[in-house]
Amino acid sequence: MEIQLKRLNDAVRFEATNAEGNTVLIEGGEAAGGEGQGVRPTEMLLMSVAACSSIDVVLFLKKMRQELKDIKVDVTGGRDKNEVPSLFKTIHLSYHLYGDLKKEKVEKALQMSIEKYCSVAKMLEKTATITYDYVIHK
Amino acid sequence: MEIQLKRLNDAVRFEATNAEGNTVLIEGGEAAGGEGQGVRPTEMLLMSVAACSSIDVVLFLKKMRQELKDIKVDVTGGRDKNEVPSLFKTIHLSYHLYGDLKKEKVEKALQMSIEKYCSVAKMLEKTATITYDYVIHK
């Protein structure tokens, strides 16, 4: 797997591109001279684990014949900003699942993703304690 | 730090949004029903470490009074695709640095970033061996 990164200005604004040409605008924080035009590298880790896990959950619920109408996830990452470098110590995912879904199936799908299958979660859990909760919106 | 993820279709296409409203289009791979419209969650990890480290390098070289005209980074991630989940075992960054830069300053900046300051590298190095090389384009 390969990606390319190039700089877009004379400060800390970057564009990353994958093999298919899809791009992400990334920018350092204010302290680094960023102007809030792109996502922060550490925010991308939270986005990545949310998407990785949601893809799992979509596929698992489909296999379980549960009709998932929509899914949203809010993710919070906790760090000690005084530490250098400042790693995530906690990551919490709040899943909102829409549809006439069975509680036990949802719980099983979330558990399988976070505890076993989501490769991003398995990498980030080496430094961060990952927790989650969920709400089913019928 | 907080991000939100919402689904954009009835498959595995998502939009992630940070606190400032900046968005990233993320999509699962073909096997998961993706259509190649967004970046893959695991690609985001490579993009994140490239940007995190590049922000460091821009700031370090500035402090060292080195005039960096441009910076590009190619990143390759190696995984065993037969393993489930398939974590990165290797991550290699190839930096291209443009300007009349002193070799020893560049080496120091890269080393400080990867070995000490880049929080994303410090998290991913728990599962992946991170290596790098560089070329100075005068």
User: What one-character-per-residue DSSP string does B76-104 give?
Assistant: EEEE-TTSSS--EEEEEEEEEEESS--HH
Contacts B127 to A, Cβ<8 Å: 122-123, 126
ipTM: 0.97
pTM: 0.97
What is the chain B residue with the closest CA to A38? Answer: B22
Taking only the tens place, the pLDDT of each residue in B66-87 is 999 999 999 999 998 888 899 9
Which candidate from B6, B51, B84 shows the least CB-CB separation from A117? B84
Chain B contact set for A91 (CB, 8 A): none
A-interface mutation test, from B119, B124, B129, most A Cβ less than 10 A away? B119
What are the tens digits of pLDDT across the range B4-26? 999 999 999 999 999 999 999 99
- Token pair listed for B106: 């560049």
Task: Quote the minimal CA–CA distance from A41 to chain B in Å.
Answer: 5
**Shortest alpha-carbon distance between residue A31 and chain B (Å):** 10
Q: What is the mean pLDDT of residues A122-131?
A: 97
* Average pLDDT of the residues in A17-30: 97
Res. A81 pLDDT band, cuts 50 70 90: confident
Q: Is the pLDDT of residue A80 over 90?
A: no
Residue in B12, B16, B24 closest to A58 by CB? B12
Q: What is the pLDDT of residue B40?
A: 98
- Mean pLDDT score of chain B, rounded to an integer? 97
Q: Helix B41-63 and helix B103-112: axis angle, to 10°?
A: 130
Task: Decide which of A3 and B84 is more confident.
Answer: A3
What CA–CA distance (Å, rounded) separates A85 from A83?
Answer: 6
Say whether pLDDT at A66 is over 90: yes
In chain B, what is the greatest distance between 2 CA atoms, to the nearest angstrom?
52
Task: Take residue B107 and report the two structure tokens written for it.
Answer: 């080496």
* Residue A93 pLDDT: 98
What integer pLDDT is reported at residue A68 of this predicted model?
98
Higher pLDDT, B95 or B83: B95
d(CA B16, CA A44): 9
How many Å apart are CA B96 and CA B133, to the nearest integer?
Answer: 9
What value, to the nearest 5°, has the Cα angle with vertex B99 and ends B95 and B103? Answer: 65
Q: In angstroms, what separates the C-alpha of A104 from chain B's closest C-alpha?
A: 22
Three-state secondary-structure class, residue B113? helix
Interface test with A, best of B12, B55, B59, B80 (most A CBs within 10 A): B55
Residue keyed to tokens 């076993």? A116
Helices (H), chain A: 41-63, 103-112, 119-124
Q: Spell out which residues of chain B touch residue A132, defining contact as CB-CB under 8 Å.
A: none
Question: For residues A18 and A83, is the Cβ–Cβ distance under 8 A?
Answer: no
Q: pLDDT tens digit string along B13-61?
A: 999 999 999 999 999 999 999 999 999 999 999 999 999 999 999 999 9
* Cβ separation A73–B18 shorter than 8 A: no
Tell me if A127 and B127 make a contact (CB, 8 A cut-off). Answer: no
How far from A99 is each of A69, A96, A134, CA to CA, in Å? Answer: 5, 10, 13
Distance CA B124, CA B46 (A): 9
Chain B closest-CA separation from residue A64 CA (Å): 15
Distance from chain centroid for Cα B43: 8
Q: What pLDDT is stored for residue A52 in this prediction?
A: 98
